């Protein structure tokens, strides 16, 4: 039974949730079938200076747009219509910037809510240590209800991060907060994870919170050497995200994706580059890695393995639409 507080939170979000089959972009709500070809894990800007030092004065939005726009337009020529920007709060999430890039490029962009605990919690705000999972979920739910940073821009998914070892107490709190926020909002949970040990611990923690594994994206699953664990996670319902394709190793990615297809689990695979990104403090934003390797490097290798246009549509159109539609997924 819901407590009075939980009931009021659910009721307050209910009008926004009543429209079914929705994706939430920085420019508003679209239907899942309007996503088209989608890259589910990219970055326009990332600032690694730390949560205690970061601020929006560290970059000029117009300069960032000028540097990033050519790469966005380049991938648009490949037919991509939607990009999920996975830069979390306190690592350079700038929804005004994302809206500018979206408007100038014509691409649909999703942003996120949540906190990133990887890298020994360098990017967590101080209150993340003191507050409960329920209080953190309140903050993330408020961004979904009211908008981010005093705007009307809402997150389209939840992004957290954990260390690539067994979950610490604070990281368990982050995944529990993400689970609570999911139950209130229907937003999918993407967790920077890597190896399987923390991934399966996260799935278990979500299950204890009442969240089905289908609400969970195992981000950077390519960091796990036992590829059979991809199958196990997908069979549980989780999304297996192979998302470092911008950085090479394309033959291995082709092998791993083919393994999932041979196990009849291609419908649980997400792919992307984890590429970009403008780096504040570096000359001209540093070296930007583009978003085209999937089309130029990976897909030719997959074609050699017998992949068809139907398979590519499964990976880039159907799976993202299913994974990121706003939908509460209870255990």
* pLDDT, tens digit (0-9, with 9 covering 90-100), for 299-311: 999 999 999 999 9
Distance, in Å, from the CA atom of 188 to the CA atom of 195, rounded to the nearest integer, reads: 20
What is the dotted CATH code of the domain comprising 38-48+60-324? 3.20.20.140
| pLDDT on residue 219 | 98
Q: Give the pLDDT score at 21.
A: 84
Average pLDDT over residues 149-167: 96
Q: Which of 158, 155, 26 is nearest to 98 (CA)?
A: 26
Query: How far is residue 169's CA from residue 158's CA, in Å, rounded to a whole number?
Result: 19
Between CA 37 and CA 318 the distance in angstroms is: 9
H or E element in which residue 232 lies = helix 228-236
**Residues 36 and 324 sit within 8 Å (Cβ to Cβ):** no
pTM of the model: 0.93
Mean pLDDT, the chain, rounded, equals: 94
Q: What is the pLDDT of residues 71-98, one digit of tens each?
A: 999 999 999 999 999 999 999 999 999 9
How large is the average pLDDT for residues 274-295? 97
Mean pLDDT of 142-147: 98
| Phi, psi (deg, nearest 5) at residue 327 | -160, 120
Peptide bond before residue 277 is cis, with ω within 30 degrees of 0: yes
Domain boundaries defined on the chain: 38-48+60-324
**Is pLDDT of 9 > 90?**
no
pLDDT at 16: 46
């Amino acid at each position: 039974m819901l407590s009075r507080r939980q009931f009021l939170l659910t009721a307050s979000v209910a009008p926004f949730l009543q429209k079914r089959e929705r994706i939430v972009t920085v420019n508003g709500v679209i239907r899942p079938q309007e996503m088209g070809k989608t890259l589910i894990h990219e970055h326009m800007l990332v600032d690694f200076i730390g949560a205690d030092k970061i601020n929006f004065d560290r970059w000029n939005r117009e300069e960032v747009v000028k540097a990033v726009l050519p790469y966005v337009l380049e991938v648009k020529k490949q037919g991509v219509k939607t990009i999920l920007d996975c830069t979390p709060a306190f690592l350079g999430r700038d929804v005004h910037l994302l809206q500018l890039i979206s408007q100038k490029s014509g691409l649909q962009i999703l942003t996120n809510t949540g906190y990133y605990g990887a890298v020994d919690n360098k990017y967590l705000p101080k209150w993340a240590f003191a507050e409960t999972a329920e209080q953190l979920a309140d903050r993330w739910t408020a961004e979904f209800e009211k908008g981010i940073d005093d705007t009307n821009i809402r997150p389209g998914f939840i992004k957290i991060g954990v260390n690539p070892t067994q979950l610490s107490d604070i990281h368990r709190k982050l995944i529990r907060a993400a689970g609570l926020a999911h139950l209130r909002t229907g937003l999918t949970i993407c967790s920077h994870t890597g190896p399987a040990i923390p991934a399966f611990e996260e799935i278990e923690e979500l299950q204890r919170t009442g969240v089905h594994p289908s609400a969970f994206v195992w981000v950077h699953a390519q960091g796990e050497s036992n590829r059979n664990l991809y199958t196990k996670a997908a069979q549980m319902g989780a999304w297996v995200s192979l998302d470092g394709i911008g950085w090479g190793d394309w033959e291995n990615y082709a092998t791993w994706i083919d393994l999932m297809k041979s196990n009849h689990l291609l419908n649980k695979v997400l792919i992307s580059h984890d590429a970009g990104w403008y780096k504040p403090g570096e000359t001209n934003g540093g070296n930007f890695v583009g978003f085209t390797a999937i089309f130029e490097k990976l897909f030719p290798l997959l074609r050699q393995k017998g992949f068809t246009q139907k398979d590519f549509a499964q990976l880039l159109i159907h799976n993202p639409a299913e994974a990121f539609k706003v939908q509460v997924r209870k255990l």
